Amino acid sequence: MSTSTDVRQERPGVLHVRINRPEARNAINDVVAGELARTFESAENSREVRVLVLSGAGEGFSAGLDLKAFADHGETGEVPGRGFAGIAKRPPSKPLIAAIEGFALAGGFELALACDMIVASRDARVGLPEVKRGLVADGGSLLRLPERMPLPIVMELALLGHTVPVETLHRWGVVNRVTEPGGAVTEALELASAIAANAPLATAATKQVLAHSSRALHAAGWEEQARITQPVWASEDAREGARAFKEKRDPVFRGS
């Protein structure tokens, strides 16, 4: 069994998927992304799975893209047809709940936003620091957040790159439930169990109708985003940001 993800059916109808790279802050590389995609594909075809819960091992949910793998090998954590972490562009058709402890930063926050609901501990650090590394948050957050929060608030969050209190995201409706530290996974599993107890056909149809109302799942939005962001990912600033992270120093950006 791989050590990058851990999959357990802990409760009837509920599949708990855990990113298991605590030594790398559960950062997403190509291996993890592929494993998550295969897990979600398998869950789609399983009658035993009605709801999924996604969490991270150790002290946090996910720090996002593995910048060391990006700096050394150009890994982007993308899965063809599914996007970042095997979920950003095409989440599972079955309800998916993110359980955030510790931190969900950059692509880790985008991974949570690709889920249908978020349960987070009140002390978790959440944010989109990509601009501080010469990168763009193009894993779905810039498409999804304006559907849930006022645009000026999203602008501040994304352009400053600072962390945002979980309580603030809860007030705006981005986070469904806030727990005491250490309680996010248990609360998410309880929520998932309550959903799994409902009629599976009705549950699936309800999610399908709601999901189709989202601009974030429309191909045109992703295509336009790629046109704008791909030159940034290919820039020297992007490489400098990743190198600076790896070398634990401040980046020197030149706008090229």
| Predicted confidence (pLDDT) at residue 256 exceeds the cutoff of 90 | no
Residues 111, 139 contacting (CB under 8 angstroms): yes
| Predicted confidence (pLDDT) at residue 213 exceeds the cutoff of 50 | yes
Distance of alpha carbon 187 from alpha carbon 177, whole angstroms? 8
| Predicted confidence (pLDDT) at residue 231 exceeds the cutoff of 70 | yes
Distance of alpha carbon 122 from alpha carbon 177, whole angstroms? 9
| Predicted confidence (pLDDT) at residue 212 exceeds the cutoff of 80 | no
pTM: 0.88
Count other C-beta atoms under 10 Å from residue 209's C-beta: 9
Distance of alpha carbon 110 from alpha carbon 24, whole angstroms? 18
DSSP string covering 55-79, please?
A: EESTT-SB--B-HHHHHHH----EE
Beta carbons within 8 Å of 184's beta carbon, 6+ residues apart: 55, 99, 100, 101, 119, 120, 121, 124
Cα–chain center distance at 195 = 21
Distance of alpha carbon 85 from alpha carbon 64, whole angstroms? 9
Tokens representing 170 are 């809860």
Sheet harboring 51-56: ordered strands across?
Answer: 5-11, 14-19, 51-56, 96-100, 117-121, 177-179
DSSP 8-state code for residue 251: -
Q: Indicate the average pLDDT of the chain.
A: 92
| Predicted confidence (pLDDT) at residue 216 exceeds the cutoff of 80 | no
Closest to 24 (Cα-Cα) out of 227, 251, 246: 246
Q: What is the mean pLDDT of residues 49-57?
A: 97
pLDDT at 1: 46
Q: What is the mean pLDDT of residues 188-210?
A: 93
Distance of alpha carbon 21 from alpha carbon 6, whole angstroms? 10
Residues 115, 96 contacting (CB under 8 angstroms): yes
pLDDT at 225: 75
Domains, the chain: 5-182+196-202 (3.90.226.10)
pLDDT at 234: 87
| Predicted confidence (pLDDT) at residue 190 exceeds the cutoff of 60 | yes
User: Which is more confident, 124 or 243?
Assistant: 124
Q: Catalytic amino acids?
A: 110, 130
pLDDT at 188: 98
pLDDT at 244: 87
Task: Give residue 197's pLDDT band: very low, low, confident or very high (50, 70, 90).
Answer: very high
DSSP 8-state code for residue 136: -
Closest to 88 (Cα-Cα) out of 101, 75, 62, 107: 107
Q: What is the mean pLDDT of residues 38-67?
A: 95
Count other C-beta atoms under 10 Å from residue 6's C-beta: 16
Please state which of the ranges 41-45, 128-132, 165-169, 234-238 shows the lowest mean pLDDT.
Answer: 234-238
pLDDT at 255: 86
Distance of alpha carbon 100 from alpha carbon 61, whole angstroms? 5
